[in-house]
Structure 1
Amino acid sequence: MKAYMEKEGWSVRVFSDGNSAVEAIDQPPHLWVLDIMLPDIDGYEILRRIKEKSDTPVIFASARDEDLDRVKGLELGSDDYLSKPFLPKELVIRAKKLLQRIYEGTNGKFQTRWINHYRIQPIERKVYYEDREIDLTSKEFEVVLYLTEHVNELKTRTEILEGVWGNDYVGSERAVDDVIRRIRKKMPRLNLETLYGGGYRVEHP
């Protein structure tokens, strides 16, 4: 499955057990493919934890083909269900249709953008400067993505927290300042302005 997906140009991570997958939930991909029967945490529990954090689409791919398993998966929020054995190409087709349905037609939110000499690729979650990838943490990337979605617009710390950390964040607004400071060091040409008493904005002609 990994090889077939990589042929589509997708970046793929594989987890050998449920605990490894759970550790990656805070850095969500654009799509999860889950088995139900795993050696530690079952796929249902992983699905619950994923949906607590985000609306990332999920495909179940399992040897269990009972109607109750399908129904339970759908009730918990899975978007599709494939019963083993299946052709890897079928998974790729279903994944591609699901990604198109979820991410396309969203006002260019997931399209590659060029801002002040940087190439930002939302689907791949990568940023480049002159073909050199910038090493960003997940939160740094999300802040860059949020501010460049609203280029030339002032965004207050509160708006950035809600847009990136979520409405249930209970920490200090200084978390935004810390991330902004790291972004400036890694992306000095981004033209990231501070408006004292106001917030931040990325200026782009």
Structure 2
Amino acid sequence: MTYHVYLVEDEVNLNRLLTSYLQNEGWHVTSFTTGTEAKAAIPQKPHVWILDIMLPDADGFELLGQIKNECADTPIIFISARDADLDRILGLEMGSDDYLAKPFLPRELVIRTKKLLERIYGKMPSTAASPVSDALDISSYTIWEKERRVYHDERPIELTSKELDLLLLFAKHPGQALSRQQILSRIWGTDYFGTDRAVDDLVRRLRKKMPELRLETLYGYGYRMTDV
């Protein structure tokens, strides 16, 4: 399944740049430079709209409202050069799903769009045409398992291979008590002959890099991730 992304951005050079980044993800991108063009395309119902609310020929908030009236379930990311709390709150209240203030890195928009698409469509019942998400959300962190990447509020976190393996182990067993021996076997392998203090050191490093993780110490036994 190919996602259809509709981008509304009146700055031509920025429009081309963002379009290129979005297309590099394998998405079909249709771009508009005016509100009038975008309004005419509302009935086509793409998978996601990326909408600049500051347009020369239209009220971006009015356009946002028309999109939601036509198809309330279509996700919208709106962007603006005005980093005003009122704009952000108004857009979110009108039904937008995310907000970006200019200037921003094109890659940040890609990450936010990918995360939104996976959240909206990746949780749909599985069908032959449905995308399958490999993203795991834990607190304010997002883990992309296949890419072996971790983000915190869209910022990457650098983890070692074993730190990431431990994080994935906890993420896939939320609320489950894991003994030190279980963790050793899963992370280091069954032929590991070292001390189980290696587990404590690895957990300590993971806590330092990801302080919002809720890792509970089970004294004399192991660890458990809570409130995922």
Q: TM-score, normalised by structure 1?
A: 0.53
One of 5, 10, 22 as aligned partner of 1:5: 22
Instruction: State the alpha-carbon separation in 2 of the partners of residues 61 and 72 from structure 1.
Output: 12
**Which structure 2 residue ranges, 5 or more long, are not aligned?**
1-17, 132-228
Post-superposition CA distance 1:93-145 (Å, at most 9, x none): 00000000000121125x428xxxxxxx9xxxxxxxxxxxxxxxxxxxxxxxx
CA distance in 2, matches of 1:35, 1:10: 19
Distance in 2 of aligned mates of 1:24 and 1:40:
16
What is the aligned partner in structure 2 of residue 66 from structure 1? 84
Which whole-Å CA distance do the structure 1 matches of 2:121 and 2:51 have between them?
20
1:76 has 2:97 as partner:
no
Shift of 1:25: 0.4
- One-letter amino acid matched to 1:50: I
**Aligned-pair CA distance for 1:80:** 0.4
Structure number with greater Rg is 2
Structure 1 partner of 2:195? none
The equivalent position to 1:56 in structure 2, one of 74, 80, 84, is: 74
More strand by share: 2
Counterpart position of 1:93? 111
SS at 1:45 equivalent: helix
Shift of 1:49: 0.3
Higher relative contact order (CA 8 A, sep 6+): 1
CA RMSD of aligned residues (A): 1.4
Write the letter of the residue equivalent to 1:35: D
Structure 1, gaps ≥5 residues long: 114-120, 122-205
How far apart are 1:13 and its partner, in Å? Answer: 0.7
Secondary structure of the equivalent of 1:24? helix
Paired letter, 2:47: H
Residue in structure 1 matched with residue 164 of structure 2 by the alignment: none
Q: Which runs of 4+ in 1 moved over 6 A?
A: none
Percent identity between matched residues is 58
Aligned mates of 2:86, 2:49 — CA distance in 1: 21
Alpha-carbon distance in 2 for matches of 1:19, 1:62? 18
Residue 40 of structure 1 and its aligned partner are, at CA, apart by: 1.1
State the partner residue of 1:184.
none
Aligned partner of 1:43 among 60, 74, 80: 60
Count, aligned residues? 113
Partner residue in 2 for 1:32: 49
1:23 to 40, 44, 56: 40
Q: Which residue of 2 aligns with 1:180?
A: none
Quote the offset at 1:63 in angstroms. 0.4
So what's the TM-score if we normalise by structure 2? 0.48
**Partner SS for 2:31:** coil
